[in-house]
Structure 1
Amino acid sequence: MSEGFEIVFPAIRGIQAGREYYVSMCPLRLLPRLFVFNEEEILPEMRAQRQLNRSRIPEMARYITENPNDYVFSAITVSVDGQVEFERLSSDEETGRIGMLHIPMDSRFVINDGQHRRAAIEIALRERPELSDETISVVFFLDIGLERCQQMFADLNRYAIRPSKSLGVLYDHRDETALLAKGLVLKSKIFRDVVEVEKTTLSPRSRRLFTLSAIYNATNELISGVDLEEPQEAAELAVKFWEEVAQHMKEWELVRNGQITAGEVRQDFINSHGVVLQALARVGNTLVRKHPNDWQKKLKKLSDIDWKRSNAALWEGRALLGGRVSKAQQNIILTANAIKQKLGIELSPEEQRVEDAFNRGEHAAA
């Protein structure tokens, strides 16, 4: 039925590895019609891409619908199985790279990279049809068989590395908690010059004591569920809380005064690691909600806690597993439980269940 009919894209022709490829723009409304996925029931070795992770798609769609004026999506990469023709607009060597790409309608398109973007756009257009005339760039490769398509998928993803969580927070200007964490690092004297803003892990020789991602996670825990009407209130609370905590962390002060290195603190103590920061924030969240007028006083006993990594009797199984720091959610809760018990703060029903399970396991091991 499609014989003699074709789809025409304005395109720029390029050469990669001796093969022609084409770059064009496609209206968002045409993506679901033109570019389809391999059927999911086909065996992995017969497909040219991974199966969709459907849990990712709603979040990606919300990203578009909630930011219609400044969302950004990179190009979709597509293989075309068909008799493609490129009509140059000029015989000149340079301008001849621009032309019209003619693709027969019975051609088959396979997305090598971008299937989740395509699915998210399809969902987003149902909520915001006004975006249908906006465009996304598409890179067309000529399909030379399943093996080549599979190799393209492998090559496109071979060096794809997600940016660190800290760098993502640093460059995020939409997330209120990211803005709060960055403002905290700038405004609070305890974090100034001791926070690594690009990396999520710190090397033994790093001069930084904390990571931005750890401060982000902890501050998010601190303000969760707290009745705050304005962002400024959250910022003020965060600064007050962490400065109060810092008064009872002599190791932090020693680093700021240059009396001990950040690497030595991280090696011998656990109180600058993300699991403890988040546990402290969890304790703070309870105090701020239940003791809004005198929560600062409740933190004084932090000075009495032995934060040494060698204090296995307290921290093993909580902040540490086999002597190594663990940031799993259960370890955060168990670490917060230990801090609460030291401060004389009652555990929540959820925390008590985790604590009881921990104690049963400890006794069984003994």
Structure 2
Amino acid sequence: MGFEYVFPSIRGVQAGREFFVSMCPLRLIPKIFLFDDDEIPPEVRAQRVLNKGRLPALTRYIVDNPDDYVFSALTASIDGNIVFEGIADQGTGMRAGQIRVPMAARFLINDGQHRRAAIELALKENPDLGDETIAVVFFHDAGLARSQQMFADLNRHAVRPSRSIGVLYDQRDDLANLTRLLALRSPVFKQHVEMESSTLSARSRKLFTLSALHSGNQALLQGLEMERDKAAALAQSYWEHVDTLIPEWAMVRERSLTAPEVRRDYIHSHGIALHALGKIGNALLRDSTTPAEWQKRLKKLSSVDWGRSNPDWEGRAIIGGRVSKSHNQVLLTVNYLRQTIGLRLSPEEQRAEDAYQRGDA
């Protein structure tokens, strides 16, 4: 008998086919699990090409969080003989035991190739991770067609969580924590932020989404080095001053206007506006030496007509009657607010503005 891999496993059945759930030490992952070569034509590969741009973030996630990283199971096909040995001949013991796989067998990842590559890179930085384990779901390889179908089925119904719920549940990121606390405690946002969805229905009683507020804070605090508590205080102070310049926000809190009415008739609660206001705040904070200075300059925003009927928004924040949050539209909206306040445009902003004025945007 040749050399074998032995994995503790639980046996199950799906669609009449056996599969095995096992634990595999991380140090073995790069050695035994393969993914198709990038140069192989798509029609004869069993998965998509590895996106190497995703690997640095995944690797840093593992290396920087050795005590609380979480990776979901890999799914792999084994092109070789699989022998399952249960710990008992009957009852539940028939489902638990171990699988024996010849070392000559080929292991092909059906789902999780980016996790596999990130684990390989993380082990180079921290070899101590090698004794930790990851769950692996093994299927017997039934050929290329079956492997391709498995990849399609595994990814067909995968739904990426909304950006808002990502911010809501992220306990590790300081900006997410700041945004969450601001949404829950600030009188401007309290009870008026949708915490889970990144879109608002026409009848929603919320005025903002958590993801939009997060983008606004990210733009506001970008490049400003300060302690977490000071950043939180600054963000709250900034948005409270913005609130004094947009009377409709207060009218929603006072219930003289409804949130659906404001979202329908104005753009200032939409994600593009919060993002643009964050960028304006960042510019003012960099150019001001005291809070009184940026607060005074910010007051010029009171002259902005945020109504959707304002023709100035067409081609900037609004395209074809709909609010758009593309990079170029954010840029043009920031330009409009910069010009209102009297701030100079950056070279990139000036190029976008020139194209807009020529009708090329």
Q: Decide: shared fold, TM above 0.5.
A: yes
What is aligned with 2:268? 271
Q: 1:301: Cα distance to partner? A: 2.1
Residue identity matched to 1:240: S
Question: For the residues of structure 2 that align with 1:135 and 1:227, how far apart are their CA atoms?
Answer: 38
Match of 1:132, SS?
A: helix
Match of 2:359, SS?
A: helix
Match of 1:189, SS?
A: coil
1:254 equivalent to 2:251? Answer yes
Question: For the residues of structure 2 that align with 1:336 and 1:237, how far apart are their CA atoms?
Answer: 20
Question: For the residues of structure 1 that align with 2:200 and 2:341, how far apart are their CA atoms?
Answer: 30
Output one character per residue of 1:252-285: Cα deviation in whole Å (capped at 9) or x when no partner: 1111111111111111110101111111111111
Q: 1:94: Cα distance to partner? A: 0.8
Q: 1:157 aligns with which of 140, 155, 158?
A: 155
What is aligned with 1:238? 235
Residue identity matched to 1:210: F
Q: 1:7: Cα distance to partner? A: 1.1
Q: 1:236: Cα distance to partner? A: 0.6
Output one character per residue of 1:303-332: Cα deviation in whole Å (capped at 9) or x when no partner: 2211111112x1111111122111112211
Question: For the residues of structure 2 that align with 1:144 and 1:22, how far apart are their CA atoms?
Answer: 15
Q: 2:52 aligns with which of 48, 54, 74?
A: 54
What is aligned with 1:195? 193
Question: For the residues of structure 1 that align with 2:329 and 2:172, how far apart are their CA atoms?
Answer: 30
| Structure 2 stretches lacking a partner, 5+ long | none
What is aligned with 2:310? 311
Output one character per residue of 1:155-189: Cα deviation in whole Å (capped at 9) or x when no partner: 11111000000000000011111011011112210
Q: 1:153: Cα distance to partner? A: 0.8
Q: 1:226: Cα distance to partner? A: 2.0
Q: How does 1:36-51 map to 2 (within 5 A)?
A: 36-51=34-49
Q: How does 1:17-28 map to 2 (within 5 A)?
A: 17-28=15-26
Q: 1:181 aligns with which of 173, 179, 182?
A: 179
Question: For the residues of structure 2 that align with 1:300 and 1:210, how far apart are their CA atoms?
Answer: 22
What is aligned with 2:138? 140
Q: 1:329 aligns with which of 323, 327, 330?
A: 327
What is aligned with 1:298? 297
Q: How does 1:110-125 map to 2 (within 5 A)?
A: 110-125=108-123
What is aligned with 1:280? 277
Output one character per residue of 1:175-217: Cα deviation in whole Å (capped at 9) or x when no partner: 1110110111122101001100100111101000000000001
Query: How high is the TM-score relative to the length of structure 1?
Result: 0.95
Q: 1:361: Cα distance to partner? A: 2.7
Output one character per residue of 1:121-142: Cα deviation in whole Å (capped at 9) or x when no partner: 0001111111111110111011
- Share of identical aligned residues, percent? 57
Question: For the residues of structure 1 that align with 2:190 and 2:230, how far apart are their CA atoms?
Answer: 21
Q: 1:4: Cα distance to partner? A: 2.1
Question: For the residues of structure 2 that align with 1:355 and 1:42, how far apart are their CA atoms?
Answer: 45
Question: For the residues of structure 2 that align with 1:295 and 1:327, how far apart are their CA atoms?
Answer: 26
What is aligned with 2:70? 72
Count, aligned residues: 359
Question: For the residues of structure 2 that align with 1:147 and 1:353, how far apart are their CA atoms?
Answer: 50
Question: For the residues of structure 2 that align with 1:279 and 1:236, how far apart are their CA atoms?
Answer: 20
Question: For the residues of structure 2 that align with 1:337 and 1:140, how far apart are their CA atoms?
Answer: 55
Q: 1:57: Cα distance to partner? A: 1.1
Question: For the residues of structure 2 that align with 1:226 and 1:108, how far apart are their CA atoms?
Answer: 51
Residue identity matched to 1:196: E
Question: For the residues of structure 2 that align with 1:227 and 1:4, how far apart are their CA atoms?
Answer: 60
Residue identity matched to 2:139: F
Match of 1:136, SS?
A: strand
| Structure 1 stretches lacking a partner, 5+ long | none
What is aligned with 1:101? 99
Residue identity matched to 2:297: K
Query: How high is the TM-score relative to the length of structure 2?
Result: 0.97
Question: For the residues of structure 2 that align with 1:201 and 1:183, how far apart are their CA atoms?
Answer: 20
Question: For the residues of structure 2 that align with 1:46 and 1:144, how far apart are their CA atoms?
Answer: 14
Q: 2:83 aligns with which of 65, 75, 85?
A: 85
Question: For the residues of structure 1 that align with 2:110 and 2:345, how far apart are their CA atoms?
Answer: 51
Match of 1:55, SS?
A: helix
Question: For the residues of structure 1 that align with 2:266 and 2:37, how far apart are their CA atoms?
Answer: 52
Question: For the residues of structure 2 that align with 1:14 and 1:271, how far apart are their CA atoms?
Answer: 54
Question: For the residues of structure 2 that align with 1:204 and 1:274, how far apart are their CA atoms?
Answer: 15
